[in-house]
């Protein structure tokens, strides 16, 4: 029997994107580094990037299209499984994951990605677990700057075209086993952001995952 978990909802998913608090460069971005929506809950005298009351201002220059380091994400999933006692043999990623932040507050997340984890359970045969992410998610984004740490916040999700499918097999034969693979995205809460030149690093609050992005 195959073990599949297919969903079009983002709730319950937990992929990380870490962001610290330096500024993203606008090299080859096709726009100004200040091209970002105003902060959420900022006071009326905010200039669209800095919050009042001494709060940490958000990074500038995140607007644009970014490509995730999916091999690194696969390695992180393997490490988390290893910490639970699973004997992880190898990890690999096939495909792409893109994030696009519009200067008008629009957001799009596009996936055509399969993460493959080879494991050995309790001295038994090697197993291959594959988690596939297909489709796109749209939302709106803004800065939540009037806090102890500036972060992105998201709203107005449309994830009807997004699906996650997980299968486990032994020697090419699908089986039913109690393996839970950490999934790759979270769309709730706050996302911390760090940028330097053409690289961005992101992490959802309370998430174990860190994602590194390259500007396209």
Mean pLDDT by 10 residues, the chain (216 residues): 32 24 40 47 37 55 93 92 89 96 92 92 83 90 76 87 85 69 58 86 86 95
pLDDT digits (tens, 9 = 90+) for 103-132: 899 999 999 999 999 998 777 888 898 888
Per-residue pLDDT, 2: 33
E strand segments, 69-162? 87-101, 106-120, 126-144, 151-158
Per-residue pLDDT, 16: 25
Per-residue pLDDT, 185: 52
**Structure tokens given for 213:** 């992005």
- Rounded alpha-carbon distances, angstroms, from residue 161 to 5, 38, 135, 136: 16, 28, 5, 6
d(CA 172, CA 167): 11
Per-residue pLDDT, 211: 92
pTM of the model: 0.73
Ranges of each domain in the chain: 64-215
């Amino acid at each position: 029997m195959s073990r599949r978990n297919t969903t079009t909802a983002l709730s319950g998913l937990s992929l990380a994107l870490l962001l610290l608090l330096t500024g993203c460069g606008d090299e080859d971005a096709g726009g100004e580094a200040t091209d970002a929506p105003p902060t959420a809950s900022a006071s009326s005298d905010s200039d669209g990037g800095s919050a009042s009351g001494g709060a940490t201002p958000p990074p500038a220059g995140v607007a644009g299209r970014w490509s995730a380091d999916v091999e690194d994400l696969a390695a992180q999933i393997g490490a988390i499984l290893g910490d639970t006692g699973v004997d992880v043999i190898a990890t690999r990623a096939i495909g792409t994951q893109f994030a696009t932040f519009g200067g008008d507050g629009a957001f799009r997340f596009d996936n055509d990605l399969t993460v493959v984890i080879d494991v050995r359970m309790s001295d038994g045969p090697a197993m291959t677990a594959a988690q596939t992410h297909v489709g796109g998610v749209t939302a709106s984004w803004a800065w939540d700057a009037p806090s102890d740490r500036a972060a992105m916040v998201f709203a107005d999700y449309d994830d009807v075209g997004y699906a996650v499918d997980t299968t486990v097999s032994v020697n090419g034969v699908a089986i039913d086993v109690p393996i839970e693979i950490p999934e790759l995205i979270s769309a709730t809460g706050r996302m911390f952001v760090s940028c330097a030149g053409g690289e961005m690093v992101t992490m959802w609050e309370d998430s174990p995952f860190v994602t590194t992005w390259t500007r396209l």
